[in-house]
Structure 1
Amino acid sequence: MNHYLQHFLYPSSLFVSKEPHLVKTILGSCVAVCLWDSKLKIGGINHFMLPTWNGNDLASPKYGNIAIDKLIDRLLFLGSKSENLQAKIFGGGEIMHTGNAKTMIGERNIRIAHLMLDERKIPVVASSTGGSRGRKIIFFTDTGEVRHKLLDKKH
């Protein structure tokens, strides 16, 4: 049994390590993209809240387009090649129903993740997205395994 270092991933952040880690995060309308390098056996994960940066405040990993680019860049910096990367996408649930189609943040977060990974020719090998419940996920950076659990709705 491997002894994993543990890391809790907060919203608007990302995590990449060459050391085996078990990374946990909780998702509502936010999306997490897990990237794993099948050759180097290293991985990374982000947790973004909004789909695209509008150029107003800081270009932070709070935004999907920034978070995905930064995650790919970090893995490439550690020696990964993009053709060895595979992705898993989680989250994007519509937890708060406002009735306004424009605010479908979860759906837009899922769309930006697929769009950017497709543009970079990184295959999505698994996903659990959408719906109306939150998710707790645990990502194993050395194997690419993700365990996820749907959270019960609080009424």
Structure 2
Amino acid sequence: MDELPVHFLYPAAMWIEKQPHRVHTILGSCVAVCLYDSVLKIGGINHYMLPYWNGQGLASPKYGNIAIEKLVEKMLFFGCKKENLRAKVFGGGEVIETTFNQFQIGERNVKVAQEMLREHGITIAGSSLSGKLGRKLEFNTQTGEVRMKFIEKQIFNPIKPK
């Protein structure tokens, strides 16, 4: 796995190339959907921040419904068939304790992935979802393997000048 080129996937982005890569990303309440075609040995991944685009502004992969649709479209463009696609889904943790937790962004991000993949007829072959911890992923686009580590919460203690 070490000989493959590495790509870091930022939030609101997706990655799919025919050349195999190791794609890294870090998730909190965001969700990453990894799609893999075992026949063509092609994988793609997205990293979205919010569940649904509201129709205002740019329809970007920042939103789950756009990110998943675009990833499926790109996989099909590369010659993949839906019946050969398997998904692995990660993230959706409520990692920041704020008043925004009432919006349950992580849980809503998870739900949009599960619903859209079901609508597309794509099986979820593996997942690590929700909870209170973040995740660090490494996705091998050639094999479909995903390595995941939980990220422990860090307490920020600023150093105050004397």
TM-score if structure 1 supplies the norm length?
A: 0.96
CA contact (8 A) 2:21 2:141 kept: yes
Percentage identity across paired residues of the two chains: 58
The offset of 1:98, in angstroms, is: 3.0
Q: 1:63 maps to what in 2?
A: 63
Q: 1:12 maps to what in 2?
A: 12
Pair member with larger Rg: 2
> 1:1-155 maps to which residues of 2 (within 5 A)?
3-98=3-98, 102-155=102-155
1:50-103 superposed Cα distances (whole Å, 9 cap, x missing partner): 000000110000000000000001110000011100000000000123356641
Could you tell me which runs of 5 or more consecutive residues in structure 1 were left unpaired when the two chains were aligned: none
Total equivalences in the alignment: 155
Q: 2:159 maps to what in 1?
A: none
The offset of 1:152, in angstroms, is: 1.0
Runs (4+) of structure 1 moved beyond 4 Å?
99-102
Residue identity matched to 1:89 = V
Q: State the distance in 2 between where 1:32 and 1:2 align.
A: 22
The offset of 1:2, in angstroms, is: 6.3
Greater shift, 59-68 or 91-100, is seen at 91-100
Residue identity matched to 1:58 = L
Q: State the distance in 2 between where 1:100 and 1:60 align.
A: 22
